[in-house]
Amino acid sequence: MKPPPFAYAKPSDLAEALRLKADHGDAGTFIAGGQSLMATLNMRLSAPDILIDVGAIGELAGIEISGGRVRIGALTRYRELEDSELIASHAPLIARAIAQVGHPAIRNRGTIGGSIAFADPAAELPACILALDGEVEIAGPDGRRKVAAGDFFKGLYDTDLGPGEVITAVEFAGDSPEWRTGFDELARRQGDYAMAGLAARLRIDGGKVAEARLVYFAVGATPVLAPLAGAKLAGSTLGNEAIEAAAAALDGDLDPFDDLHCSAAMKLHLARELTRRVLTEMAGGAA
C-alpha cells in the first residue's frame, strides 16, 4: 500500500522545525529515520498533511562526553552508535543492546530520538535509557526541558512529549568502575522484536550489590523497572540464591499481556530466564 499524499519540509535549524510544527499542529509530523513512521503511513494508520524532516538539523546530531555524562543527539543513527568508540567505552549497555535492534538496514536509518519518541514497548533503547536512569532532552514552543526517563514513558506508544515538542538528545551518566551492566533478549529470530528483554545496571560496593536497576521490555505497555526483583539483589554478592529470589519476585513487578508473539505466562517465564542469564553473566564481572 502507498502512503496518502503529503507535503514535505526539511528545515536546517530547530527554530524553523518548531515553527513549522506550530503552524501545522496535529497535521504536521516530524520524521527522522522513517523506519517506523513510513510503515504507519504505508498502512494508512496516520495521514499527516506535511512531514517535517529533522534530518538536517545539526544541533540534533552527535555523541559527546562531558563531566562524566554521555549526551547522544536525537538524530544519531543506530549504526553510528554501533560504530562509536565513545559508546563502546562509556555506554557499554547501549553498545551491547544495539546489535539486537532490527536488521542492518533498519540500523542504517533509524535514530535514537525516533526510537524514544515512538516508545515501542518492545524496543531496546527506551529500556536502556531507563536502566541508565537517563534523561530525555526536549525542545518545544515553551522552551527546553529535561525529563527523567522514568517519567517519560507513559503508556503504550505514549510519552511525555507535548504538542509541538521535539526530542533533541538523551543524556545519562557514563560508565564507571562501580557500575556493571548487562543485556539480553529473546526473540523468535535474530532481528525480530523481542518477546522479552532485560537491560540491567548494578552498582557494586565492596563486592556487594548496592543498587539494582533491572528494566524489562516487551512485557508491558512501557519498559518496566522492577524494584521488587532489584531489592532481592541488594546486599548480595550476586550468588544463585539472590538471583533466584530476584527471578521469583518478578511476579510482583511485571504484569505482561499476550501479544502476537507469545502469551503473558510465557513472557513472565522468559523474563525469569533472562534474569538468571543476565545476572549470572554479570556475577562473572562482565560489563
Ligand X SMILES: Cc1cc2nc3c(=O)[nH]c(=O)nc-3n(C[C@H](O)[C@H](O)[C@H](O)COP(=O)(O)OP(=O)(O)OC[C@H]3O[C@@H](n4cnc5c(N)ncnc54)[C@H](O)[C@@H]3O)c2cc1C
Binding site for ligand X (CB under 6 A): 29-37, 39, 54, 74, 101-102, 106, 109-111, 113-115, 117-118, 120, 123-124, 161, 166-167, 193
Give me the least distance between CB of 40 and ligand X, in Å please: 8
The DSSP code sequence of 211-280 is EEEEEEESSSSS-EE-HHHHHHHTTS---HHHHHHHHHHHHHH------SS--HHHHHHHHHHHHHHHHH
**Least distance to ligand X from the beta carbon of 211, Å?**
26
* C-alpha dihedral, 198 to 201 to 204 to 210, nearest 10°: -90
- Comparison of 117 and 215: residue with beta carbon closer to ligand X: 117
Positive or negative CA dihedral for 145, 148, 151, 155? Answer: positive
Least CB distance from residue 191 to ligand X, whole Å? 6
Return the DSSP state at 101: S
Nearer to ligand X, 101 or 149 (CB): 101
To ligand X, the closest distance from the beta carbon of 33 in angstroms equals: 3
Angstrom distances, CA of residue 23 to CA of 4, 145, 163, 200? 20, 21, 12, 42
Task: Please say which residue, 71 or 232, places its beta carbon nearer to ligand X.
Answer: 71
Minimum CB distance to ligand X smaller for 6 or for 118: 118
CB atoms within 10 A of CB 238: 22
Nearer to ligand X, 93 or 101 (CB): 101
- The residue with its CB nearest to ligand X is 114
Q: From the CB of 235, what's the least distance to ligand X, in Å?
A: 34
Q: In what order do the strands lie in the sheet with 179-186?
A: 179-186, 196-205, 208-217, 224-225
Other beta carbons within 10 Å of 269: 16
Kindly state the smallest distance separating residue 5's Cβ from ligand X, in Å: 18
φ/ψ region of 126 (left if φ > 0, alpha if ψ in -120 to 50, else beta) reads alpha
Nearest to ligand X of 31, 278 (CB atom): 31
Q: How far is the CB of 46 from ligand X (least distance, A)?
A: 8
Cell of 260: 502476537
Q: Which is nearer to ligand X, 17 or 70 (CB)?
A: 17
